[in-house]
Chains A and B, each alone.
Chain A
Amino acid sequence: MARKITIDPITRIEGHLRIDVEVNDGKVTNAWSSAQMWRGIEVILKGKDPRDAWAFAQRFCGVCTTVHAIASIRSVENALKVEVPLNAQYIRNILIAQHSVQDHIVHFYHLSALDWVDIVSALQADCKKAAYLAQSFSDWPGNSQQEFEAVKAKLNAFVQNGRLGIFASGYWGHKAMRLSPELNLILATHYLKALDYQRKAAQAVAILGGKNPHIQNLCVGGVATAVNVDNLATLNMERLLYLKSLMKETAEFVEKVYFPDLAILADHYRDWFKYGNGVDNYLAVPEFPIDTKNENFELAGGVFYGGNIKPFRIIKDHKDEYLINSITESIAHSWYVGEDKLHPWDGVTEPNYTDFQAEGKYSWSKAPRFNEKPMEVGPVAQLFAIYASDNEEAKQIINDSLLRIGIKINDLQSTMGRLVARGIRAKIMSKLSLKFVDKLIDNLAKGDSEYANHTNIPEGEFRGVGFHEAPRGTLSHWIIIEDKKIKNYQAVVPSTWNASPRDEKGLLGPYEASLLDNPVHDPEKPLEVLRTIHSFDPCIACAVHTIDPEGKEIVRVRVL
C-alpha cells in the first residue's frame, strides 16, 4: 500500500524546507524537495554599491553569515582583479576554518544527533558503566561518573515535570533507535557540553571579525582588522595567543569528544552506510588561498561523476574556466518565470508562485547543475578532492579517521558517511586554523604589515565570481558591476545544490535521490527520512524564523 508523507518544515535551524516522500512496502519510492520560502537577495542587491554587497549578503542566512560575506567580497575582487595581501588571506582563512569548526560541532550534536540518540532511554543508564565506557573511548577529562550522574539527574527532573521542551518532539522509543541507555547518556551529556565549545569557536571568530555573528572586518581588497603586534588597541600578540588557546580547546573537543561519539554512532548504525547515497556526482572548489593572487590553495577542489572517487577533474583555483562555465540553474520545476536554464551571470529571479505541483513547479529553490548534472556538495565532495590531491597532511587525517571508523572512502557516499565526512572535516579545519595563525604570526614577524589593498570601483562593466568551500559545500556569488553599481547578482548556495528540485530533464536533486530506497518503519514517525535529510545539514538560505505560538502540524500522512 502506498502512502504519501509530507514533512513541513524539516530543517532544524533556518528556513522552510518541505519534503514529500512516497512510501511503498516500507521503502521510499519517490521524493520531492521543496524550499518554501522566497529569498529575494538578488532583487535587494541590484543598484547597490558593490563594496557594500558583502554586508547585505551575510544577512542571507542566520548560521552561515561569515560564508556569504567571504563569497561576496571574493566576487567583487574577482571582477576587479584585486590582489589580497597575505595577512588578509590568513585572517580570512582562520575565520573560515573556525567558522567551520563551530558549524560542524553544532550540526553533529544539535542538529542531527537526536535522530540517533534516544534522550529518554538515557534515564535508564547506569552512570558508572557509562563512565567506564566513555573512558574506554577517550581520555577526555569531562567523562566522569559524577558528570553523567549530574546530567541524568537534570534530565530526570525535566522529564518528571513534563518539561522535556527541546527534546519533547523527538521520536523516543522509535524502533530504529539502537544505542544502549549508557551510550545515549554519554551522547546526551556531550550534547549539552558541546554548547560551550561551539562558543569558544564563536569567540575566536569574533576576535578576528570584530563581531560574531555578522563579521565587520572585511573590505574589498583585504580586511579592515587593524594589525599591529605591539599595539594594545589592535590585533596584537596577546590577542593572537588567546585566539590560539581557544582554538586548541575546540580542537581537543573535536578530537576527544566529537570524533569518538561519531565512531559510536557509525558502529551501531552500520547499515546507514548503505542508505542515502544520492546523485553520485560531487563538486568541491579549492579553499584557503595561500598567495595574494588567488592562484595557490591549501585544499584542492574537484569534480566527480557516477560515484567514482577518481576525479573527473581536479580544480586547482577559482579562475578555472571549466568550473566557471559549467554551472547553470534550471527553473523548470521552480516558482520562477523565464528561460529554463541559465548561467548565473545571466540569471533572472522573477518569482511566480503556483501551488505545490508534484509534476510541475514545486519549489523556490532553483536547480543548479554542473555540466547538465545534479551535484552533491559538502564535506564528502571536499574530502574526495583532498583524497585525490597531493596534500599529504590532510590526506593522512582522512586515512587515519577512516581506519578508526572501519570504513573505506567510498562508504562516505551514504547517510552515515556524510556525518563521518563532516567529523573528519572538523578535524582538518581545527588543524588548519592553528596552522594559519602560525603563518599569520610568522608573516607579521617578518615585517609585513599590509592587510588591505584599498580599492575604488572604476567606471565600466565587470563581471566576477566568488567561490567558497563552505561548511555545507560549494558556494558561489556571481556579480555584474556596471558604472559602479550592481547590475546583476546571483548566489548559488550549497543548499540549493543539495535541495535542488528536478530540472528540465526530470533529473532528481541530491536530497530527492538520497531518499530513494530509505526504509520507513512508521509513516507517522518518519525518522529515517529526517536522518538522511539532516545528514546534509540542510539550511535553506532564506532564513525566516518567525516565532509561531499557534504551533503547527508537521507530519502529514496520506494513503494513496
Chain B
Amino acid sequence: MSNIVVFGAGNILLSDEGFGVHFAKYFEDKYSLPENVSIFDAGTLGIMAMHIIEEADYLYIVDVISVKGNPGDIFIYDKEDIMLNRIPTKMSPHQIGVQEVMLLSDIRGKLPKVVKLFGIIPESFEPGTSLSKNLEEKLPKLADMILSEIKSISY
C-alpha cells in the first residue's frame, strides 16, 4: 500500500505563516483517514524533516508562497516544477528549504513518486497564533483539493 504524506509547514506564531501547520491540524481533526495517510506537522523544519519526505510515495506539501496574486490564492506545483527550477528558490547561498531538500532526496535516489506543493498567498505575518479570516476560509477548499488528490490514487 502506498504511503501518503500530507506535510504542513510553517510557523504558527506569525499568523498566516503557519498556514501549513493549521491546515495539518484541520485536516486531521476533520477527517478520518485510512492508515496509509499520515499528516505531518513539520513546523519550520527543513532538512531535519527529510526522512519524512523520503518515506512517502505520495507527498503533498502545504505552505505559504510569495508570488504575484491575492492573499488566499492557491497555486499547485508539481514535482517537475520544483525539480526543473521553475520555482527558483535561491534564498541564500546554500539555503536549505523544501525544494533543496527534495533535490537532495533525488540525488539520494529516495524522492517520492508524486510530489505536489499547494502554495497559498498569505495576508498577514503579524505575531499571533491564528490565521487571518481570509486564509482560514480557505482551509475547507484546500482540504477538498487534497482529498480528491488522495482519492485519485489507485493502489
Q: How far is the CA of A550 from the CA of B14 in the complex (A)?
A: 22
Residue numbers of A with Cβ under 8 A of B are 7, 9-14, 38-41, 43-44, 56, 59-63, 65, 102, 106, 110-111, 114-115, 154-155, 158, 163, 165-166, 168-171, 192, 195, 198-199, 202, 213-214, 530, 542-552, 554
- Choose from B85, B93, B96, B119 the contact partner of A547 (Cβ within 8 Å): B119
Q: B134 at the A/B interface (Cβ < 8 Å)? A: no
Q: B30 at the A/B interface (Cβ < 8 Å)? A: no
Quick check: B66 and A548 within 8 Å, CB to CB? yes
Main secondary structure of the interface of A (DSSP, over half): loop
- Contacts A12-B95, A192-B107 given; does A44 touch B13 at CB 8 Å: yes
Quick check: A38 and B127 within 8 Å, CB to CB? yes
Quick check: A546 and B66 within 8 Å, CB to CB? yes
A7, A59, A214 pick with most chain B CB within 10 angstroms: A59
Supply 26 A–B pairs (Cβ within 8 Å), ascending by A. Answer: A11-B92, A56-B13, A56-B129, A62-B48, A63-B44, A110-B47, A111-B94, A111-B96, A155-B107, A158-B107, A165-B103, A166-B100, A166-B103, A192-B104, A213-B43, A542-B14, A544-B125, A545-B9, A546-B122, A547-B99, A548-B66, A549-B87, A549-B119, A551-B89, A554-B90, A554-B91
Taken residue by residue from 11 to 25, chain B's Cβ proximity to chain A (1 for < 8 Å, 0 otherwise) reads as 111100100000000
- Among residues of B, the one whose C-beta sits closest to the C-beta of A526 is B93
Residues of A within 8 A of B48 (CB): 62-63, 102, 106, 198, 202, 213
Q: Tell me, rounded to whole Å, the shortest Cβ–Cβ distance linking B141 to chain A.
A: 20
Residues of B within 8 A of A41 (CB): 13, 127
Quick check: A551 and B44 within 8 Å, CB to CB? no
Q: B76 at the A/B interface (Cβ < 8 Å)? A: no
Q: B57 at the A/B interface (Cβ < 8 Å)? A: no
Q: Which 8 A-B pairs have the closest CB atoms?
A: A40-B127, A62-B44, A165-B103, A551-B88, A166-B100, A199-B51, A543-B44, A548-B66
Residues of A within 8 A of B41 (CB): 213-214
Please report which residues of chain B, range 16-45, place their CB below 8 angstroms from some CB of chain A when the two chains form the complex.
17, 41-45
Residue numbers of B with Cβ under 8 A of A are 9-14, 17, 41-51, 63-68, 83-85, 87-100, 103-104, 106-109, 117, 119, 122, 125-129
- Choose from B50, B65, B122 the contact partner of A195 (Cβ within 8 Å): B50
Residues of A within 8 A of B63 (CB): 546-547
Q: Tell me, rounded to whole Å, the shortest Cβ–Cβ distance linking A413 to chain B.
A: 25
Quick check: A163 and B93 within 8 Å, CB to CB? no
Residues of B within 8 A of A10 (CB): 92-93
Q: How far is the CA of A65 from the CA of B13 in the complex (A)?
A: 13
Quick check: A9 and B45 within 8 Å, CB to CB? no
Quick check: A61 and B90 within 8 Å, CB to CB? no
Quick check: B13 and A548 within 8 Å, CB to CB? no
A9, A12, A14 pick with most chain B CB within 10 angstroms: A12
Quick check: A44 and B44 within 8 Å, CB to CB? no
Quick check: A14 and B44 within 8 Å, CB to CB? yes
- Choose from A13, A158, A171, A199 the contact partner of B46 (Cβ within 8 Å): A13
Q: Tell me, rounded to whole Å, the shortest Cβ–Cβ distance linking A499 to chain B.
A: 15
- Among residues of B, the one whose C-beta sits closest to the C-beta of A112 is B94
Quick check: B97 and A192 within 8 Å, CB to CB? no
Q: How far is the CA of A530 from the CA of B68 in the complex (A)?
A: 31
Q: Tell me, rounded to whole Å, the shortest Cβ–Cβ distance linking B106 to chain A.
A: 8
- Contacts A158-B107, A170-B94 given; does A545 touch B66 at CB 8 Å: no
Q: Tell me, rounded to whole Å, the shortest Cβ–Cβ distance linking B8 to chain A.
A: 12
Quick check: B43 and A547 within 8 Å, CB to CB? no
Q: How far is the CA of A169 from the CA of B85 in the complex (A)?
A: 13
- Contacts A38-B127, A163-B83, A214-B41 given; does A545 touch B46 at CB 8 Å: yes
Q: Tell me, rounded to whole Å, the shortest Cβ–Cβ distance linking B112 to chain A.
A: 15
Quick check: A530 and B96 within 8 Å, CB to CB? no
Q: How far is the CA of A114 from the CA of B92 in the complex (A)?
A: 13
